[in-house]
Amino acid sequence: MLYSKVAKPYFFRMDAEKAHHLVIDGLHTASRVPGVPAFMRAMYGVPEAKELEMGVFGLHFAHPIGLAAGLDKNAKAVDMFANIGFSFAEVGTVTPKGQAGNDLPRLFRLPSDEALVNRMGFNNDGAAAMAERLAKDTNRRIPIAVNIGKNKTTPNELAHEDYRACLQQLYTYGDFFVVNISSPNTPDLRALQHGDELRLLLSTVMEEMGKQAGKSGAARKPVLVKIAPDMTDEQLGYTVDTIVASGVNGIIATNTTISRDGLQHANSRETGGLSGKPLRERSTAVVREVYRLTGGKMPIIGSGGIFTASDAYDKIRAGASLVEIYTGLIYKGPELLRELADGLKAYLRRDGFKSIVEAIGADHRS
């Protein structure tokens, strides 16, 4: 209630990107004020529940709900995302060199559609700055995924070297990694989802992951690939085949969409990637198809349009092991985390499942 009655009206009167920075900087500052983290855990934290716990990629997750990439581009507020109830957080997208991103304005709300359009363009401080921040996070309470991409000025034929450079600087500090080849806001990036370019990129990533693991003397950390929702069924099939053959650990389905079907708000005319409720059904369909194509053997993180426990549960039954939220958090606030967790427990009871793990891919067994 505090968010919907007080904070949201205040933020929604501001420019969307200014509000975004105010929230991230505020969370960063608040995490260092004595007593505030504990207060946030008491107000918003998600109570432990055995039926929601799971192990994926060799990591432990208290429940399946995480933060999608794009909100905390520079890993400024990872401590506080744990305090408000997330079971994991994805930071980035980060590029080897810091870059300003696309021209302002570049983030737009569509309240009547409960959606956002962004054309940020991988604005971030760069891999070295993120490494420095994550190195200070010595009491990490949740797994952190580092989402990596290429600089705007790097041509596609050299893109694999940008991803390698990110891993060289950040491997030590991420718990798992996400290869972003699906943002619509970096020119030609989505071309990396197909054919020889994808094979070269993923072979380079896996080679570097192996090198970094060798240096640490520990097992290789997990790596996932984030895909777009706008591929044809044939394109998706080829892409998934290439991803599986590369040896990566999982897929995130999906990134934002360039589709504008059924939108009402004037900001739908803005170019960029659309997130929020209009993406819900398409992203769930992609989760379902990826699960089918992989025979349920490759873990999937479902992302796109999650506003209710039903939305999250639909993705889990379609084949997602974990789910991520972003736009839903903007519209509904941190209260959403507990609402989703409580709702998932209710759905498990309704369907006779003792654990969330039993619900993963249940639609394919019906």
d(CA 267, CA 223): 35
Residue-wise pLDDT for 42-62, tens only, equals: 999 999 999 999 999 999 999
- Indicate the pTM of the whole model: 0.96
Residue-wise pLDDT for 140-150, tens only, equals: 999 999 999 99
Q: What is the CATH number of the domain that holds 88?
A: 3.20.20.70
- Say what the pLDDT of residue 186 is: 84
- Say what the pLDDT of residue 184 is: 79
**For residue 292, what are the CA distances in angstroms to 241, 303, 365?**
12, 17, 11
- Give the total number of structural domains in the chain: 1
High-pLDDT (> 70) share of the chain, %: 100
Average pLDDT of the chain, as a whole number: 95
166, containing H or E segment: helix 159-170
3-state secondary structure 269-304: HCCCEEEEHHHHHHHHHHHHHHHHHCCCCCCEEEEC
183 is catalytic: yes
Which amino acid, one-letter code, is at 75? A
Q: How confident is the model at residue 189 (pLDDT cuts 50, 70, 90)?
A: confident
SS3 for 127?
helix
Which amino acid, one-letter code, is at 81? F
Structural domain including 168 reads 2-365
Across the range 202-223, mean pLDDT stands at 97
β-pair partners for 56? 59
Catalytic residue among 31, 87, 183, 283: 183
Q: Which of 105, 196, 104 is nearest to 157 (CA)?
A: 196
**Is the model's pLDDT at 1 over the cut of 70?**
no
d(CA 288, CA 314): 10
Residue-wise pLDDT for 246-292, tens only, equals: 999 999 999 999 999 999 999 999 999 999 999 999 999 999 999 99
**For residue 173, what are the CA distances in angstroms to 76, 125, 177, 324?**
14, 16, 10, 21
